[in-house]
Amino acid sequence: MGTRHCGPPEEINALNCFIKLQRAAESVATRVHAVLPESLTITQFGVLEALHHIGPLCQSELAEKLLRSGGNLTLVVDNLEKAGLVLRERDPADRRYVVVRLTDKGQAFITALFPKVAANITQEMSALSGTELSDLSRLCKKIGLRS
């Protein structure tokens, strides 16, 4: 269902597109979340995936990469730390600088989980052709980078 707003055509088109984008994103995220262990959120998965592929990161860098607030990411990392999947290390010279890294348990966990999630996402996106995927990626980036 699209917008019921009665306004100029450019507003109606923008609102309808936004609704479809949000619904598609939520729908895919819900199905991807179904592959994750019950105790793991998509944001927690994002932290583990970033640390797995990039390596240890400052907590503020993680927040920026995942488009989360510092406060939100602190809670996410707290929970991952309680589960024994990550650990924080403070810079002795500047205690405000906190690096987050995977533990051995966290590395083993994400190494086993990532292929399942990647396969699920690939399946979700298989409704689109390669060209459509490239177009969608380009368009999402264009909207996301608009300031």
145 vs 115 pLDDT, higher one? 115
Dump pLDDT digits (tens) for 9-57. 889 888 899 899 999 999 999 999 999 998 899 999 999 999 999 999 9
Q: What is the reported pLDDT for 135?
A: 95
Predicted TM-score (pTM) of this structure: 0.84
Domain boundaries, the chain: 9-144
How far is residue 124's CA from residue 127's CA, in Å, rounded to a whole number? 7
Q: Cβ contacts of residue 109 below 8 Å, gap of 6+?
A: 48, 85
Q: Which CATH number fits domain 9-144: 3.40.50.2300, 1.10.101.10, 1.10.10.10, 3.90.550.10?
A: 1.10.10.10
Phi, psi of 142 (to 5 degrees): -60, -45
- In angstroms, rounded to a whole number, what is the distance separating the alpha carbons of residues 100 and 52? 11
Task: Specify the pLDDT at position 67.
Answer: 83
DSSP 128: S
In this structure, which amino acid lies at residue 119? A
* Distance of alpha carbon 131 from alpha carbon 2, whole angstroms: 26
Q: What are phi and psi of 57, to 5 degrees?
A: -135, 150
Beta pairing class for 57-58 and 98-102: antiparallel
Residue 122 has pLDDT above 90, yes or no: yes
